[in-house]
Structure 1
């Protein structure tokens, strides 16, 4: 059975109680619209300022029930294996005891399994296909779809898509509060859940990688989602207002700049994740830039990677989205297999990230 919100929070407490040495619980400062708090579990034996870190997000979209369970499961697996000095195996994707030690003792992993607890609670009790959070409907609006914001369109990256993209770019975002799926919210980072993710990044400058786990796909996506990648014209980028009328169009010779070394890193780490996930039971997730699905704005992964361009003092964060499985809420027997794929992919990221990222 999938975990509900209370069970996710209880699992965080139980893991910390069972393994107090290599874990720490932190509570973001912003309560949700329905008054919930949701927490992060840090897994790692070193202090937060001693080693690089990975931020793992789950549950941004309410109807995607597998990602929170996947993150709780991976945290439990890592802690148990480290405590007993054993390896981990997910199908043919295997990790030795030494590799488990490497992850737990040379990294901090920040597990943020349920970013959107209000939405998950509503999806699990009232409307299974609910995607957004539970921001109250604006005054004067009618209908149940007028509640909520798509948190993965609410981050401060080209958030105002009507002003920042070509009119024919087909950006999968909406400024209509009653859009049932992709309403961007009344302002960038208007939502407490979004601000909690920003807080996690701001509070932990040692975070150098982030993965936002979603369903369904399967796919492993890297930056950018706003336009096709290009590495030749640095001035063609999200900060350039001269591109506001043309951004997002395919094959127009104008794309979003990403340094060649960063693109190489993004692709190589994505491929390591794909190989590990595929070894579990033969599923090829595939690797592509997020724009390959459709152009987007305000997403978590593009926001996290964009921060060091807008603020040179910010840490460069290589950011990914894993779209896991092929359904939002499969039978739990299938979800367990998908969870194994996600776990293998995330361990592969941790094991390969330092070597691949050096110099990027």
Structure 2
């Protein structure tokens, strides 16, 4: 077997929606990509008015496993629910009752290929291509935006971060890795995720699946967490130019003790679920520990409630799965099981997340 291309990802979602109409909803995103592709999200769940979990994949084009992992998870959940069976991922088992709880007691939004243009380019022309395919007048390496630096969270790193912070983003359109785009949420791929969060207030947890470290990351990615100085937040311009320096006392990103406890516990559940599959350890870490970031999906999701208390609080996580971007299919199948196990463990624990 080989990795799914973007058209095959969309066909898989269509087929699952057709096969399980009472347990799914196929959602069409409103913003076509630069190359004219339409992306869709599969909502798995039989009830409305329940807690939602949003799973993103394929944000970075060269990371081939996440879209396949999320399509596989949706298929596994729907088939097991339809047959009234449990699920087994290596050494990790989920009972029929647990599957029923996820499908009938919550909503799982599966958005497997956020950046289909980039994936198509990676699979056919440049395997290590990371960004989307935004055209640029200068052409060549100046094509594309890193979608995971384009969200509206401290997007303008030149103003918001310390000059020596080494924040992993760039204002240079010719940066082949982390160009942030011409403005926050300039990209259709970014706007589709924002639209989903805006229109589906039942979503309480977001997981952006990437590769390959492996690690499980939680908020914040902008600076070291602290829970004693609530005035030090991304919203306060007094701290612009101070963020992102390691191990300094000038600034730390505020997170409430309750939220820090929740994201730590939920991350540990995912870690345990992954390790049970075949013994591989995905350490838990604050996102900033990997490197400082701005404009990332997980921080954006969590920041929304602070910027506008009327919006649902959404805890954001990133799973960095596997050890290579494009492993052999035999290895990819193992990583797919790890992602599925982590996502199910998280889905079963979502009600433990404190509401806003």
Give the TM-score range, shorter chain.
over 0.9
> How far apart in 2 are the matches of 1:359 and 1:156?
22
Q: Confirm or deny that 1:160 pairs with 2:156.
A: yes
* Partner of residue 45, structure 2: 44
Deviation of the 1:352 alpha carbon: 1.4
Identify which range, 243-252 or 222-231, moves more after superposition: 243-252
> How far apart in 2 are the matches of 1:169 and 1:3?
38
> How far apart in 1 are the matches of 2:124 and 2:349?
40
* Partner of residue 282, structure 2: 285
**Secondary structure class of the residue paired with 2:88:** strand
**Secondary structure class of the residue paired with 2:155:** coil
5 Å-filtered alignment, 1:325-340, equals 325-340=322-337
**Secondary structure class of the residue paired with 2:275:** helix
Pairing partner for 1:260 from 247, 252, 257:
257
> How far apart in 1 are the matches of 2:154 and 2:330?
39
* Partner of residue 126, structure 2: 127
> How far apart in 2 are the matches of 1:167 and 1:41?
41
Deviation of the 1:358 alpha carbon: 4.0
TM-score relative to the length of structure 1: 0.97
> How far apart in 1 are the matches of 2:207 and 2:224?
20
Deviation sequence 1:243-299 (CA, Å, 0-9, x none): 112111111122000000000000000000000001000000000100000000000
Q: Which residues of structure 1 form unaligned runs of 5+?
A: none
> How far apart in 2 are the matches of 1:156 and 1:199?
13
Contact 2:71/2:112 (8 A) holds in 1: yes
Q: Confirm or deny that 1:272 pairs with 2:273.
A: no
**Secondary structure class of the residue paired with 2:190:** helix
* Partner of residue 188, structure 1: 184
* Partner of residue 295, structure 1: 292
**Secondary structure class of the residue paired with 1:30:** coil
Deviation sequence 1:206-235 (CA, Å, 0-9, x none): 100010000011100000000000000000
Q: CA separation of 1:54/1:359 partners in 2, compared to 1, >3 Å: closer, same or farther? A: closer
Deviation of the 1:17 alpha carbon: 1.2
* Partner of residue 225, structure 1: 221
What's the C-alpha RMSD, in Å, of the aligned pairs? 0.8
* Partner of residue 350, structure 1: 347
> How far apart in 1 are the matches of 2:146 and 2:241?
24
> How far apart in 1 are the matches of 2:159 and 2:147?
19
**Secondary structure class of the residue paired with 1:6:** helix
**Secondary structure class of the residue paired with 2:216:** strand
Count, aligned residues = 354
> How far apart in 2 are the matches of 1:4 and 1:106?
32
* Partner of residue 94, structure 1: 93
**Secondary structure class of the residue paired with 1:199:** helix
> How far apart in 2 are the matches of 1:186 and 1:352?
38
> How far apart in 1 are the matches of 2:216 and 2:32?
30
Deviation of the 1:104 alpha carbon: 0.4
TM-score relative to the length of structure 2: 0.98
> How far apart in 2 are the matches of 1:164 and 1:358?
29
* Partner of residue 104, structure 2: 105
* Partner of residue 29, structure 1: 30
Deviation of the 1:240 alpha carbon: 1.2
> How far apart in 1 are the matches of 2:159 and 2:217?
25
**Secondary structure class of the residue paired with 2:274:** helix
- The 4+ residue runs of structure 1 with deviation greater than 4 A are none
* Partner of residue 3, structure 2: 2
> How far apart in 2 are the matches of 1:191 and 1:267?
31
